[in-house]
A and B are shown apart, each in its own frame.
Chain A
Amino acid sequence: MAVEAGRMRSKEGDWQRNSRGREFKERVIKFLLTACAYLSIFTTIGIVVVLFEETVRFFLDVSIVEFLTSTRWAPNTGDFGVLPLVYGTLMATFIAIAVALPIGLLTAIYLSEYAPRRLRQYLKPALEILAGVPTVVYGYFALTFITPFLGNNLFSDIDSFNAISAGLIMGVMIIPTVASVSEDAIYAVPRSLREGAYALGATKRETATKIVVPAALSGIVAAVILGISRAIGETMIVTIAMGSQANFGGTPLESMQAMTAYIVQVVGGETPRGSAVFGSIFAVGSALFLMTLALNLASYWFVRRFREIY
């Protein structure tokens, strides 16, 4: 249609916004959105309240001081010292981080600073898909492949359930998380900072390791804390491959029990509800929750404290 010469405006009747029921529609949508937001918040709060309620009930029977300080965990004989379980969890987590931090960080540096653009485009999503492998598969892998491999080649006295294979595999499991999140942080360091380093005669390696990585430190720390959180909360791998024997002070080659694995053991067993043993899973669950909460808070604080304003 030809444009009518000289017309600067549309005709009077061209603008007819339908405002019938507008007020009502706005209200409905706002209500729905608010409801969804609060639903998730209240569900979380509800879970935490139940957890703490049961925990308090447990501590009416069992001394909280004993729970936190005793190094003997034998629920059937009434020994509720949580430290052996914490020890198992931390041992596996420590091994996992020892694997995931260097490999994840180096992967991130490679992807961000060295990989050709195209390769990065494919590798980054591939890495994120890897993070979706079901953990039960990792668990089997640790039990049926890593442990025999270590036993045949390195440590002949390794237990068939042990902390080291569970930890190693858990490390592999969290590499994608550590690598992907720290890569985001490293990639976000502005080009101008890299150029500033180059302009002083810095090599690519010096620029990447001494300028870019420190500038991305808060993001990298967040990535590592996220990885630790996942390792602490991880259940399947430690249940399948690390064993069900509370063991305080054991070597990585020995069988030990993680906090999560204990909870699985009790829930899946014949323990009567209402007994002290059943109540103990809530206490252990609370301890686990507080550990991850503390980590998340630390991460939050660290990121805010050290976030770089480029």
Chain B
Amino acid sequence: MTQSERTREEQRLTGVSRDRREGRRDAGRPPAGDNGTLGMKIQDLSAFYGGFKAVTDVSMDIRANKVTALIGPSGCGKSTYIRCLNRMHEVIPGARAEGSVTLGDQDIYAKGSDPVVIRRRVGMVFQKPNPFSKSIYENVAWGARINGFRGDVDELVERSLRQAALWDEVKDRLKESGYGLSGGQQQRLCIARTLAVEPEVILMDEPASALDPVSTQKIEDTMAELKKSYTVVIVTHNMQQAARISDYTGFFYIVNMGDPGRLWEFDETEKIFSNPERKETEDYVTGRFG
């Protein structure tokens, strides 16, 4: 590709022309909080599997009611990192994290902070759909119930399924097993069950990577809706997807094999895709490696 071809390609992907670009920012620094409040603040986060350090020194400000995308080559610690944000990382035997992750005014890694409570406030959707072996209705209602929801469960189930753009497809078969749904529907069911516990932040680890394009489209539509009321962090290997749906983008990178992954650059999505500060980011988003 020539330079101008690449520019046009970027513009097509991101819908942002080079003319509209803002002034330069300091490389790797989180964007200033001029638009929106802070959702989560991550400071010097490192994650380990036993003796192996998989992610090192990540600091990131996650804006509330925005979509933050995490991109980067595979194996550079995106999944590990995102799992640290709701204390799911430590579920793996031998895994632990260091640093601080602030949600509201609480450090979720502080002594006495209860992961069970944190995980209700920071929900998670996984790469592979993992519905429970229960009915569609129960899949959605269960999480609310164990968290002591005292309101109208029927209404909550309907609202969550509507938000996940699944209601119309399942409203006549709520009593049937969740396993009977297609992969894309199962994933939207998992989104619905996450919404049903009304978290503040929703983490998604490549939620559409196992799905066909139509289901992917539906999930992207859902996400556009979600950010009206939720803060969303999404890992994706699909650059167009990151460009389409996110407001901020973090690029993870590993310099040498065996090193821990780092947050290489973090900025507004427009900027990451049109005029990144660092060469590796540019190479990655223009598809030159990865």
Residues of A at the B interface (CB closer than 8 Å) are 117, 190, 192-203, 206, 210-211, 214-215, 217, 308-310
Contact = CB atoms under 8 A, between A and B. Distances in A.
Given A202-B143, A214-B134, A215-B132, A195 B91 contact: yes
* Residue of B86, B120, B132 with most partner-chain A CB within 10 A: B132
A206 B116 CA distance: 11
Given A195-B88, A199-B119, A214 B133 contact: yes
Contacts of A217: 133
Residue of A192, A198, A214, A310 with most chain B CB atoms under a 10 A cut-off: A198
Among A117, A195, A201, A210, max chain B CB count under 10 A is at A201
B132 A197 contact: yes
Nearest to A216: B133
A198 B119 contact: yes
Contacts of A193: 130, 132-133
19 contacts: A190-B130, A192-B126, A195-B124, A196-B131, A196-B132, A197-B132, A198-B119, A200-B120, A200-B123, A200-B197, A201-B119, A201-B147, A201-B197, A202-B116, A210-B142, A211-B133, A215-B132, A308-B179, A310-B130
B190 interface: yes
Interface residues of B, number: 26
Contact of A308 (B133, B142, B190, B193): B133
A203 B88 CA distance: 12
Nearest to B124: A199
Contacts of B131: 196
B146 A200 contact: yes
B140 to A, nearest CB: 10
Given A200-B147, A201-B116, 4 more contacts: A192-B126, A198-B91, A199-B119, A210-B142
B23 interface: no
B130 A192 contact: yes
Interface in B132-162: 132-134, 142-143, 146-147
Contacts of A214: 132-134
A199 B179 contact: no
Given A195-B88, A195-B91, A308-B179, A200 B194 contact: yes
Contacts of A194: 91
A201 B146 contact: yes
Contact of B116 (A195, A203, A310): A203
Nearest to B123: A199
Given A211-B132, A215-B132, A196 B126 contact: yes
Contacts of B130: 190, 192-193, 195-196, 310
B51 interface: no
A149 B85 CA distance: 57
A217 B133 CA distance: 10
Contacts of A198: 88, 91, 119
Contacts of A196: 126, 130-132, 190, 193
A201 B93 CA distance: 19
Contacts of A197: 132
B133 A215 contact: yes
A197 B119 CA distance: 10
B117 interface: yes
A77 B130 CA distance: 64
B133 A201 contact: no
B199 to A, nearest CB: 9
B128 interface: yes
Which of B128, B133, B193 has the largest number of chain A CB atoms within 10 A? B133
A210 B133 CA distance: 10
B272 to A, nearest CB: 28
A217 B134 CA distance: 11
Contacts of B123: 199-200
Nearest to B122: A199
Contact of A201 (B117, B128, B134, B179): B117
Given A192-B128, A192-B130, A193-B132, A199 B142 contact: no
A200 to B, nearest CB: 3
B194 A199 contact: yes
A196 B128 CA distance: 10
Contacts of A201: 116-117, 119-120, 143, 146-147, 197
